[in-house]
Amino acid sequence: MKLYMTEMSGNSFKVRVLASILGLDYESIRIDWENNEHKSDSFLKLNPRGQVPVMEIEDRVLWDSTAHLVYIARRYGGETWLPSDPLQMAEIIQWMAFAQNEVQFGLQWARGVTVYGRRPESFEGYLTDGRLALNILEDQLVKTGDWLALGRATLADIACYPYVKRSGEGDLPTTYYPEVEAWLSRCESLAGWIEMDPKV
Amino acid sequence: MKLYMTEMSGNSFKVRVLASILGLDYESIRIDWENNEHKSDSFLKLNPRGQVPVMEIEDRVLWDSTAHLVYIARRYGGETWLPSDPLQMAEIIQWMAFAQNEVQFGLQWARGVTVYGRRPESFEGYLTDGRLALNILEDQLVKTGDWLALGRATLADIACYPYVKRSGEGDLPTTYYPEVEAWLSRCESLAGWIEMDPKV
């Protein structure tokens, strides 16, 4: 298993932290993001999105972090991180879709404006969706307690963590979301957790 | 199984067409979208996003269409629509994540501007991501032939269909994407397929 990544990619972090928790060996290939290697012809052949992370598994390529997490969890994680029961699986997938929707297009992209100056014209929309993301997470944790789903740490938590953790940099601080802040700390206390690069 | 939906919701269509293909019985509850029932207190208790579709399964609620498709496919679809093999499952999940990323935040939201006047300031970004979506789909179909993944119809195709089908209304016509157009027709010829409401 090969992982093309950068330390500053939150989506790469999701895959790296799950692999660390499960104690998996894999080859890590750092993309030279600063020199636009992710937009090179050879990289675009691997991933037409021009993004990291990308995984090579034998002769197959997967270029989406949600897919990477699903692969690792089902191949190496037993029933813990993504159970095979249809309803439990669907519940986890719901939170992974939420991570790719409101968390990404709200929290992550708001930070894309403030930190990288990307698409500033869309900032208000990102803030609206980002606030919805934090409200939904806070309400869910009030209901469920320690974790987003199934009463234990799952892919739901890993998929949501990085861009919630960094949301303050996008003018959406977690200060008023005490359950969210406690949950972030709880994620960080999992055995095998690794520290996220400050540049994510 | 209860499905809260509207005929004009593309995400509801994904669930309805899969249920039709599999011949599933369920209770369909139409939300009065025109009178903002999806923003009512009682509906927001079911789904904090304020959107359809929502599914109730016994005493559980799922409010994300990706999760609905995963539930139905794993519960009623055998190995066809979302196989249990980790790598094959991950490949399908990749295209479902793509449907929630470039297809939604490109094609669907570009149409949200032209048809509903939503977030017009973000139109250029939606067009950029929507073009990427169509390019990626066309290239994939050139490589794989009839279907997006696994050489057969899967959740990958159903998840991508609705907002690709309607992308022309968002100034992103499929005219220059012959493989995409052939694939849309191929989806429509599946046994059990239902016609999508013209208002989607």
pLDDT in tens, A17-68: 999 999 999 999 999 999 999 999 999 999 999 999 999 999 999 999 999 9
Share of chain B above pLDDT 70, in %: 100
Chain B residue numbers touching A74 (CB-CB < 8 A): 84, 86, 89-90
* Any B CB within 8 A of A132 CB: yes
Q: What is the mean pLDDT of residues B120-129?
A: 97
Could you give the C-alpha distances from A4 to A21, A24, A37, A107, B96, in angstroms and in order?
19, 15, 11, 24, 21
Share of chain A above pLDDT 90, in %: 98
Q: What's the confidence (pLDDT) of residue B200?
A: 87
Q: Over 90: is that where the pLDDT of A200 sits?
A: no
For residue B101, give how far its alpha carbon lies from the nearest alpha carbon of chain A (Å): 7
Chain A residue numbers touching B136 (CB-CB < 8 A): 48-49
The minimal CB distance from B67 to the residues A91, A122, A136 is found for A91
Range list of β-strands (E), B76-182: none
Question: What is this model's ipTM?
Answer: 0.97
The minimal CB distance from A64 to the residues B75, B94, B139 is found for B94
Show the domains of chain A with their CATH numbers: 2-76 (3.40.30.10), 86-188 (1.20.1050.10)
Q: What's the confidence (pLDDT) of residue B19?
A: 98
pLDDT band for B154, please (50, 70, 90 cuts): very high
Question: How is residue B176 written in tokens?
Answer: 């220059």
Whether residues B64 and A105 touch (CB distance < 8 A) is answered with no
Share of chain A above pLDDT 70, in %: 100
Sequential DSSP letters for B58-69? TTEEE--HHHHH
The minimal CB distance from B97 to the residues A48, A67, A74 is found for A67
* Any B CB within 8 A of A97 CB: yes
DSSP-derived 3-state class of residue A174: coil
Per-chain mean pLDDT for chain A: 97
Candidates A51, A61, A100, A129: best to mutate against B (most CBs of B within 10 A) is A100
Q: What's the confidence (pLDDT) of residue B128?
A: 97
* Any B CB within 8 A of A74 CB: yes
Tens-digit pLDDT profile for residues B66-77: 999 999 999 999
Rounded Cα–Cα distance for residues B65 and B54 (Å): 8
Q: What's the confidence (pLDDT) of residue A199?
A: 86
Q: Over 90: is that where the pLDDT of B199 sits?
A: no
Q: Cβ atoms within 10 A of the Cβ of A182, count?
A: 12
* Any B CB within 8 A of A88 CB: no
Please name the amino acid found at residue B72.
Answer: I
pLDDT band for B136, please (50, 70, 90 cuts): very high
The minimal CB distance from B71 to the residues A90, A102, A121 is found for A90
Q: What's the confidence (pLDDT) of residue B192?
A: 98
Question: Which residues make beta-bridge pairs with A3?
Answer: A28, A55
* Any A CB within 8 A of B131 CB: no
Tens-digit pLDDT profile for residues A183-196: 999 999 999 999 99
